[in-house]
Each structure stands twice: as structure tokens, then as C-alpha cells.
Structure 1
């Protein structure tokens, strides 16, 4: 599972979703989906903008949480 840590980083930086949207030029709805971790796809440029605005690295923003059953299914798909 991939975790997007926008909510955590906003709290750490004492910033609101609206602040982040204004600083990055990313639609508030998109920031909201990142915050709620419901977003399905993220533009690489958006990741870069968020990292710059929050003064963080990509590894601070995104985390992979192991899920052995799902990981095995993905490995099987990739190997085919």
C-alpha cells in the first residue's frame, strides 16, 4: 500500500489544505484527495510542487507500507 503523508506534513508545517493549494497552484479538490489519501493518480509535477511547498523530499511525502498478500499479487502481475 502506498501512503501519501500530506495530512501529516501539513500539520507539521502548520499549514492548511487551502494554503497548500494556493502555494502550489494545485486545485483544492486534488489537495483534498491527497490529504484524504483517496487520490488514484498524482502528476509528478504535483509531487514536486508539494515537496517544494512543504520543504520535504519525496520520501517524506510518500511511504510504501508492506501488505504481503497484495505485494505477492502485484509481483505475480509484474512477472507475467
Structure 2
């Protein structure tokens, strides 16, 4: 099966931040990742993400990876 370009994985970081009344800047400080890199992820422009970054985001937001990402149906 060929890889879709663009991919169908959507990041729900914006929604999770809003639900927790948290800013991207505050999350960046907690996670230790730059605001620019989190913004790229939040705006669904990321091509890859490290497992350590995912773990840190999920820990900071008290969520699972399934809460953070969804696959859009074809």
C-alpha cells in the first residue's frame, strides 16, 4: 500500500490545549520542545515526531497518543 501524500493523520493538539486552558508556549516549557516545533505539529505540517516528544506531550497533557492523533478516513 503506497504512502498517502499528504498523510491522513491529524494532530488534535490545538483541541487538547483548549480543553486544558493551556498555551502552546506553556506546553513547550513543560515538554522541553521549541514553540516552533510544537506549532508545526499542531498545524499538521510535521513529517515525523520522536517517541520521546510524544511521551512528554502525553505526560504533560495527561492524555494518550490516541487522544493526540486521529486518522481521517479515506
TM class by shorter chain equals 0.7 to 0.9
In the TM superposition, what whole-angstrom CA distance separates every residue of 1:4-51 from its partner, at most 9, and x where no partner exists? 110010000100000010000011111111111111110111111000
Aligned to 2:43: 36
Aligned to 1:48: 55
Structure 2 regions of 5+ residues with no counterpart? 1-7
TM-score, scaled to structure 1:
0.80
> Quick one: which of 44, 61, 67 aligns to 1:60?
67
Structure 1 regions of 5+ residues with no counterpart? 68-80
Work out which of the two has the higher radius of gyration on C-alpha atoms and give 1 or 2.
1
Which runs of 4 or more aligned residues in structure 1 lie more than 4 Å from their structure 2 counterparts after TM superposition? none
Q: Which has the higher contact order (CA 8 A, sep 6+)?
A: 2
Distance (Å, rounded) in 2 between the aligned partners of 1:38 and 1:17: 16
